[in-house]
Amino acid sequence: MPLIANPGKIWLMVEPVDMRRGIDGLSVLVEQALQRSPCAGSAFVFCNRTGNRLKVLLWDGTGVWLCQRRLHQGRFVWERSGTGGMELTSSQWEWLIAGVDWRRLGLQSRAIKYS
């Protein structure tokens, strides 16, 4: 079973974050940057500045999950243009966590900018 089974949407936060942030700190970022509720059923994906760690914040209906992944070699391919976040498809998500450049797969993301 995949980590993100059936979220409403998968949001990639464009700007890097401090990985010391926990559920509360990342939830505040979701509310401020995307103007969305972290408990609305979407998954929110964050990356650190060096690109070798990511965290996923996910509400499953009964509680909040905060999962982390660290690459020992290489970096996650991350969209760094703009501010706020962008929505990913489930295919783009699968390619992202596999370490493949999902931007070159012909899958267009829908960039969402919030000020």
- What is residue 8's predicted lDDT score, i.e. its pLDDT? 77
**Which pLDDT band, with edges at 50, 70 and 90, does 112 fall under?**
very low
Return the bridge partners of 110, or none. Answer: 87
85 and 46 in contact (C-beta within 8 Å)? no
pLDDT level of residue 105 (50, 70, 90 thresholds): low
Every domain of the chain and the residues it spans: 10-109
Question: What sign has the CA pseudo-torsion 32, 33, 35, 40?
Answer: negative
37/107: higher pLDDT = 37
The tokens describing 58, both together, are 């996910």
Of 98 and 18, the structure prediction assigns the larger pLDDT to 18
Answer whether residue 21 shows pLDDT above 80: yes
Cβ contact 9:85 at 8 Å: no
Number of neighbouring beta carbons within 10 Å of residue 65: 13
For a pLDDT cut of 70, what percent of the chain falls above it?
A: 80
C-beta atoms surrounding 81 within 10 Å: 8
115 contact partners, CB below 8 Å, separation of at least 6: 83, 84
In this prediction the pTM is 0.81
Res. 115: pLDDT tops 60: no
Chain segment 40-95, per-residue pLDDT in tens? 888 999 999 998 999 999 988 888 999 998 888 888 887 776 678 888 888 888 87
